[in-house]
Chains A and B, each alone.
Chain A
Amino acid sequence: MIRAAIALLLTLCALPALAQDSMPPAPFAYNQLDDPRLEAEATALMHTLRCLKCQSQSIADSDAPMAGDMRHQVRSRILAGESPDEIRRWLIARYGDYVSYEPEVSATTWPLFAGPLLLLLVVAGVLLRRLGKRRNDGGEAA
């Protein structure tokens, strides 16, 4: 608990520094958490968050200073006991839907989920039509 409190304090101290690229990276940008379970949780989350300054890279795959700061945010919040979902929501509230690689069903993203469902139906239809009936060789042209 004390460690969590210190980490939170450190996070708050580090916040003003986030704005400047020339500052040294935040402590958890390039350092892992000691607890392997928490670190695994943080890594899984980081792989699904977008580095906003890069082209198509997650914050776990980037050297950009901003990605480092976001990694620090994720790790310190996990250490403070927040759940990955809470952190994701906090980041989305700050940076918008764009920051999360895991699209959630919403007014703007529903086609992404309707698409595969529709596709499943179409695929089932095509297969039933092509393969459903047993046909004899030399049948008529379609």
Chain B
Amino acid sequence: MIAEIGLAALWLAAALAVLQMVSGAFALRAAEGEVNPLAIYARPAAVVQAVLAVLAFIMLLWAFAITDLSIKLVASNSHSMKPMLFKLTGTWGNHEGSMLLWVGVLALSGGLLAGFEKRLPARTMGATLAVQGFVALGFYAFLLLSSNPFERLPVPAAEGTGLNPLLQDIGLAIHPPTLYAGYVGLSVAFSLAMGALLTNQVNPSFARVLRPWVLGAWVLLTFGITAGSYWAYYELGWGGWWFWDPVENASLMPWLAATALMHSVSVLAARDALRTWTIMLGVLAFSMSMLGTFLVRSGVLTSVHAFAVDPERGAFILGLLLLYIGGAFTIFALRAGAVSEGKRFAVTSREGALVFNNVMLSAILAIVLLGTLYPLLTEAFDVRVSVGPPYFNPAGAIFAVPMFLVMAVGPLLRWKEDKPKRLQFELMLIAALVIGTIALVSFFGQFPLLPLLGLGLAAALAVAAFLPLKGRKLSRVPVATWGMVLAHFGVAVSLFGMACEGAFSQERLAAVAPGGTEQVGDFSFTLESVTPVAGPNWTAIEARLAISKDGGEPVILAPQARNFWSPPMATSESALLTRWDGQLYAVVGNQAEDGRWQIRVWWKPFVTFIWYGGLLIALGGILAIAGRVKVDVKRRVASAKGAERRADIEALGAAAPVPAE
């Protein structure tokens, strides 16, 4: 019954998406100030749809929890002997399940928008919900017609195939759900942007409605990417934390667009400038989310030819992609002329700096897009090329370096117009920090150019992040401003970690006999013993390494080489020693013929700062949301109180006081 309930809920949700779409569209036909009688169904349809889609997801979760082997998806991706946590997370560790999660989050965010957003004019809200319903309908169709997660087997399987061991990790519980929530949260930004564009409501009050969605999605994306990077770092066993892999790029591209969008929305809310630019970024951000879903879900990455042989799913998503992105940009092209550009500003103003960095972010996005799609394009013509770090790093840096410099100065500038002379001291300080740090580091040795630049910029950004607080009373600084300071500081911290990892990492690969000692950086490690161990669904060889720094008290690290039996696969479980100033990363490999063991150890100074920075950035975003909500609640309470008082006065029969204006 579980599967049937889930399937029925999905079909009902799809039907409600149609209702939401049609009813929302009728709102556009209402005259100003009136409500079309057919438009009242959009909101309830969105809310009920959210409930049904979430119910469908819970049903699948339940099926995985009890390992219902009569369901094809469970049989081919789960195993009765798997630990409970990995049974549950395995729900979205496969194509159908992850698409159901995607659609579930899409419906949930649509439902939240319909349920709680009361500030928008009825027509704009109707158009927004219609677009949201249209997007949801496409993905329901994809799920129901080409990747049904609830398909039954004619004969239940005796045992499941199991889950890829690389995915049997707490990372799978955190990384995909947050990333998907971020991806899909951008769908609301997209729908709102389209709604505002269609009803010509691109203005600051629309921006204030849009902002929490963009901020929320951006926080989740930031967190999801950070978690994914750390997961890849400790799970793959070679100490890399970013590979410019197309799957990673697929998550980075929406983040870049969302970062630009978030800043642009702030300008629109505060200054009523950058109207068309904000709408375009809103469309772009969700387009990148869908492109990412297409790249990861269509099989196009394994091989373009595999995609061509079994094109059903890929072609379906590609069709949706073209329909939505093409449609959105067509509407944008037709309507953008009707939206006025908004307030003007000078080059040296905060808006000017934000526009500059918006363009830089878009340029980096274009580089990543080109480097990701180009190999796929040539492969279709049977020419195989590889695009990797030697391309992305310098090409990205061309735009990232000026962006970081402007980012240091931008928050210090005044809105609308400012004189650079006013900031002479700050500009000198930032320049001195960049040049001074680079000179100091180069004095100690030869390092590659990019990490060196990274160190200089990180030092300058770390100080510059706090400069906006200069001369202000700290207790009166708004919470949202603290959010900005923290997020910008997080960028500096992360950049520092990346640069240190790139410039100062030390590596030691060696064949070690039990009892043997080797050296990496300031650390010496002794292989004490190698013993077999067993887990719930794996066996392993565990090495005990005694690590000591400068001959101090030794610490034991126990890396494992695991063998899973269903599906059969070998993985290496790295062991990490975290200190405040870096991480020691140890892996055990195979045994050589002479009985010695392959040990790999890295000392990576300040590598953890990469992810601390990511968390700080996300925390900054959360503070910004909290600050905005606080202000919003205060305003609502104040206006409610005012209305109450006026009502009281009216009830007393006294003449209403004339508002002083």
By a CB distance below 8 angstroms, the chain B residues around A134 are 346-347
Inter-subunit contact A112/B374 (CB<8 Å): yes
Q: Chain A, 1-17, contact with B by CB distance < 8 Å: what is the 0/1 string?
A: 00000000000000000
Inter-subunit contact B511/A31 (CB<8 Å): yes
Inter-subunit contact B238/A115 (CB<8 Å): no
How many A-B contacts are there with CB distance less than 8 Å?
130
B245 CB within 8 Å of chain A: yes
Inter-subunit contact A61/B370 (CB<8 Å): no
Chain B positions 334-371 with a Cβ under 8 Å from a chain A Cβ: 340-341, 343-347, 352, 355-356, 359-360, 363, 366-367, 370-371
CA distance A48 to B243 in the complex (A): 11
A137 CB within 8 Å of chain B: yes
Q: Which residue of the partner chain A has the closest CB to B340?
A: A141
By a CB distance below 8 angstroms, the chain B residues around A73 are none
B517 CB within 8 Å of chain A: no
CA distance A138 to B272 in the complex (A): 11
Q: Which residue of the partner chain A has the closest CB to B303?
A: A55
Q: A55-B245, A119-B366 are in contact. Are A112 and B590 (CB under 8 A)?
A: no
Q: Tell which of B100-108, B474-482, B592-600 binds the partner.
A: B592-600
CA distance A102 to B363 in the complex (A): 21
CA distance A100 to B386 in the complex (A): 6
By a CB distance below 8 angstroms, the chain B residues around A32 are 507-510
CA distance A88 to B450 in the complex (A): 22
Q: A101-B391, A123-B359 are in contact. Are A57 and B386 (CB under 8 A)?
A: no
Q: A30-B509, A116-B395 are in contact. Are A56 and B389 (CB under 8 A)?
A: no
A126 CB within 8 Å of chain B: yes
Inter-subunit contact A131/B385 (CB<8 Å): no
Inter-subunit contact B240/A61 (CB<8 Å): yes
Inter-subunit contact B384/A97 (CB<8 Å): yes
Q: A30-B598, A55-B245, A137-B343 are in contact. Are A103 and B511 (CB under 8 A)?
A: no
Count of residues in B whose CB is under 8 Å from the partner chain? 56
Q: Which residue of the partner chain B has the closest CB to A98?
A: B384
Inter-subunit contact B238/A135 (CB<8 Å): no
B388 CB within 8 Å of chain A: yes
Chain A positions 23-43 with a Cβ under 8 Å from a chain B Cβ: 24-25, 30-32, 43
A130 CB within 8 Å of chain B: yes
B226 CB within 8 Å of chain A: no
CA distance A103 to B392 in the complex (A): 11
By a CB distance below 8 angstroms, the chain B residues around A120 are 363, 398
Inter-subunit contact B243/A103 (CB<8 Å): no
Chain A positions 109-127 with a Cβ under 8 Å from a chain B Cβ: 109, 111-112, 115-116, 119-120, 123, 126-127
Chain B interface residues (CB < 8 Å from chain A)? 236-238, 240, 243-247, 301-302, 340-341, 343-347, 352, 355-356, 359-360, 363, 366-367, 370-371, 374, 378, 383-391, 395, 398-399, 416, 507-511, 570, 572, 589-590, 592-593, 598, 600
